[in-house]
Amino acid sequence: MPPGYLFLCPLADMALDVPSRFRLPDCPTYWSLDPSGTKHLTMEEAEKLGFPIFTIEVKVAGWSWDESVYNGIRQFHQAKGFGPDSQDVAHKLGHKLYEISKEPDVPFAHAQSAAVPVNPLR
């Protein structure tokens, strides 16, 4: 394996390009034979030269409480004079408010062809 340099995309470039859409840059990692990284090696070239191949994987996770916890929070808010189905508490705490989209539910309609493939079975 020749001396080489691994370049990683800065974390700031792996961010939301519009609200609620995560997009990786076209080339998040690459190998180069020069320290400036000007000439990218293709994955095939890097593999042929013996460099390890890197992939970036994005995982999304969510958590929730038991329904009884949410019922308790609703009761607490009501006891404090807030409407449990309103955004009163969020207003009072100074949080940003969000609206649920009125668009029909079309899963992943925003995804572009260059989006990173997701394998939910991993």
Hey, what long-range contacts does 90-93 have (CB within 8 A, 24 or more apart)?
Answer: none
Residue that the structure tokens 């260059």 belong to = 114
Domain carrying residue 29: 5-93
83, part of any domain: yes
Count of Cβ atoms closer than 10 Å to residue 26 Cβ: 7
pLDDT confidence bin for 111, thresholds 50/70/90: very low
pLDDT for 32-86, tens place per residue? 998 888 888 998 999 999 999 877 777 777 889 999 999 999 999 999 999 988 8
pTM of the model: 0.43
75 located within any domain: yes
Q: Does the residue 29 lie in any domain?
A: yes
- 122 — pLDDT class (breaks 50, 70, 90): very low
Q: In angstroms, rounded to a whole number, what is the distance separating the alpha carbons of residues 40 and 42? A: 6
Q: Is residue 70 part of a domain?
A: yes
Would 109 be classed as within a structural domain?
A: no
Total domains in the chain come to 1
